[in-house]
Amino acid sequence: MVVRTEPVADWGDLITRLPCSGSVAWIRRGDGLAGWGEVARISIPAGEDRFTAGEKWLTEFFDGADVTDEVGLPGCGPVAFGSFTFDPTSDGSVLVVPSVVIGRHAGRSWLTTIGGQHMFRQPVLPTRAPAELRWHDGSLTAPQWERAVSAAVARIQAGDLSKVVLARDLHAVASEEIDARVLLARLAARYPDCWTFSCAGLVGATPELYIRREGAAVSSLVLAGTTRRGSSDAEDARLGAALLASAKDVEEHRYAVADVRRALSPFCGRLDIDAEPSLLRLANVQHLATHVTGRLAATQLPGAGGVLGEHASALALAAALHPTAAVGGTPTGAAMELIRELEGMDRGRYAAPVGWVDANGNGEWGIALRSAELDGRRARLFAGCGIVADSDPEAELAEAQNKFRAMQDALQD
């Protein structure tokens, strides 16, 4: 497998370079990676070891590459894009190695090809926006979901667990096949601070970064606790201040930060975590946010199944983090069981790691939020909310509906 990465002039808008709907992408503020064609793909069976199985396959695949890299940045050389299932009992995890990747980072642009540049010359097909959309409920209607929230609150108040994240799904059907590139362009324009992604039919713009690894440096962005945006600057500030002062939302956020600390501490010689959450304002909602940074330790942990620390890839770190309390709950086992009991659906790859990893272990993995699974003319949208002891079902339903807006607007403009 001959891989070549070479510097090129600036690409401009990476999304407009994608030739077809089935392309892959990971873009934020215009930077990132986009690719097309497939040198290899693996569909990973259900199981707790799905991340390990994917990592093993990638290691063997990358080890067979003859790589010429004239740029030397993370994301150069062979790259795999992936998305994994939320629940280990679910099939559907996938890793894809594109035959062409175009990238931009830190003011530099590059082109990576595997097996020559013939796929790079693939013509860009015209896009067409989704039309004649019809909407219908997913697994639970709004009243049924509110009753599920009430049941979760009762279980939390009884002491069974501290927090659980409950999700909803929503279905849309268009008159023709939905072109993911249209959704990507709209999401990237409206949510530049999110990571806009496309992988194997999963499309979205996530505000939450599980992990970024660049050499020994790692970082994570933890989000939990949400309110809407205001119609004026004054209302916006009032809503943000109320979120920062909300005992319910701060409690929810604290669980998620604690999970990230527990997951990353064994890998890191140093870990720095914001003392207090700040506000992250997006186009439709505001979140409580905590930034986490660290340095990987060059240590080997006994009984952990291999060399960790500095040698842990971005994918291995994402596997260690999933699922945090931000998308599952706490304690994890009890939350997972309650999700299976109350949601009435299989989340698939929603709320699970999505991103990329290169042959050096560098990469970025986010949580697949604000997303939709595309299948021809059909789209399945997802939104979820963190439930704690004093959660109000009506307020949680309103929050979920706000979170649906990103993908609904991308579909219907």
- Give the active site residues: 163, 208
Phi, psi values for residue 243, rounded to 5°: -65, -45
Rg of the chain, C-alpha, whole Å: 21
Q: How far is CA 77 from the centre of its chain?
A: 22
| Residues linked to residue 36 through DSSP beta bridges, in sequence order | 100
**Which amino acid is residue 114, in one-letter code?**
I
| Residues linked to residue 94 through DSSP beta bridges, in sequence order | 43, 83
Residues 6 or more apart in contact with residue 96 via CB below 8 angstroms: 24, 38, 40, 41, 80, 81, 82, 199, 200
Q: What is the DSSP letter of 310?
A: G
| Both tokens assigned to 241 | 């201040």
- Per DSSP, the residues of 224-277 read EEEEEPPSSHHHHHHHHHHHHH-HHHHHHHHHHHHHHHHHHGGGEEEEEE-SS-
Instruction: Compute the residue count for the chain.
Output: 413
Residues 6 or more apart in contact with residue 121 via CB below 8 angstroms: none
Residues 6 or more apart in contact with residue 155 via CB below 8 angstroms: 161, 164, 338
How much of the chain is helix, strand and coil, in % rounded to 5?
A: 30, 35, 35
Distance (Å, rounded) from C-alpha 255 to C-alpha 197?
A: 26
> Please, what is the Cα angle at 314 between 167 and 95, to 5 degrees?
70
By the 10 Å C-beta count (0-12 exposed, 13-18 middle, 19+ buried), 373 is classed as buried
